[in-house]
Amino acid sequence: MDNPMLVAVRTLLKETYDGPKENASWYTEAKPGSGLFGTLEKISAEDASIAINGTTIAAQTDHTRYYLWVANSYLNGEEPNKDWGASWKITNVDKITWAQFTDELQQEYTTLLKKIDSLDSLDEQTSNGLLGALAHSAYHLGSIRQMIKSIKVPNQT
């Protein structure tokens, strides 16, 4: 991949989801587990179901997955039927559903990285879509980390 913008977007998405490389960071904490997946793996289904200011970590997670699904659809030239409100209706999850949410988020993230790897150039729409996916994901990473502080999950504060 020779396009500096694609390299940068991929690098920052990886930091957002996987965490920083080798204790170096562009914007997250420079320690292992600072990305979204490291943050979520320490959350139980019960904690993900605690309502904080009208939402749950489960809803934040599913909404982030849904956003990536929409972004991936557009990047594939599709026009998805969207129901943004549906992901925000998540209140309680059990252990199986919580694992499914995090697995599906991982799948959408992997799909996005593969799409980035397949691109040679960027038009304005694709650039905006990729930067939007990055900004949206970073926003929800921050939201989830703040929610964790509110419920005081051990080893997360």
**pLDDT tens profile 6-51:** 999 999 999 999 998 877 788 888 888 889 999 999 999 999 999 9
Tens of pLDDT along 40-76? Answer: 999 999 999 999 999 999 999 999 999 999 999 999 9
Give the separation between CA 63 and CA 84, rounded to whole angstroms: 8
pTM of the full predicted structure?
0.91
> What is d(CA 50, CA 58) in angstroms, rounded to the nearest whole number?
9
